[in-house]
Amino acid sequence: MHDGRRPGIVSLPATATGPTMSRLDPTRWNRLWQQLGATTPADSFEHLLAAYSAPDRAYHSDAHIAACLAHFDTWQHLAEHPHLVELALWTHDLVYDTRRQDNEAASAEQAVAWLEAAGLGHHGEVVRALILATCHQAPPQGADAGLVVDLDLSILAAPPSVYDAYETAIRQEYHWVPEPLFRAGRSKLLKQLLAHPALYHNAPLAERWEQPARENLQRALLALGAE
């Protein structure tokens, strides 16, 4: 059971530092596959490093994945299938291109391919669904999807200075979008988030994160000049 602590948001820098200084731990990656009952797929960790250290990832980098995993370490007792949840967290942003509309689906394809290569293809559709939940376009189905979504959105409840750095990093990732269009699109997204009855789906996380997340979103809307 939860021990009653009130952990805060992990405030990791938003930028990657490259493969040689990655925040991702190969020992942890290999241990996860052992816990799943398989051998780590060949070159999979190198693939992770290359993806999450790409220079165009101002936010969706190894720091984001490390932050998700740090929160998972605290809240994994909420998961029904913790090893599959952890795999989804590792892989949910493997493909990230702001000009594409299928990043989550493409990320899921790679995760499923690794599961199949490891002889764990029977877990493929479960992990695919967990990753697709991070599209944030529909309420997550099931406890594990809810946990993945909550941890992915933990940044929304970060201290104001950390949240502001996140907004700056997102703008950098969309550097190719003209400022008026970016402001309009970002404002629309933040309003959609605020319209949700609840941003977080697990009661212990909602208790800690819901209010600061909504305060950050409201403040960001004001900064964007939204009405």
| DSSP codes, 10-67 | ----SS---GGG-S--HHHHHHHHHHHTSPPPTTHHHHHHHHHT-TT-SSSSHHHHHH
CB 16 within 8 A of CB 63: yes
Q: Is 0.85 topped by the overall pTM?
A: yes
CB 136 within 8 A of CB 163: no
Cα 19 to chain centroid, rounded: 19
For residue 7, the 8-state DSSP code is -
Give the residue, 225 or 145, on which the prediction is more confident.
145
Per residue in 185-218, pLDDT (tens digit) is: 999 999 999 999 999 999 999 999 999 999 999 9
Per residue in 31-45, pLDDT (tens digit) is: 999 999 999 999 999
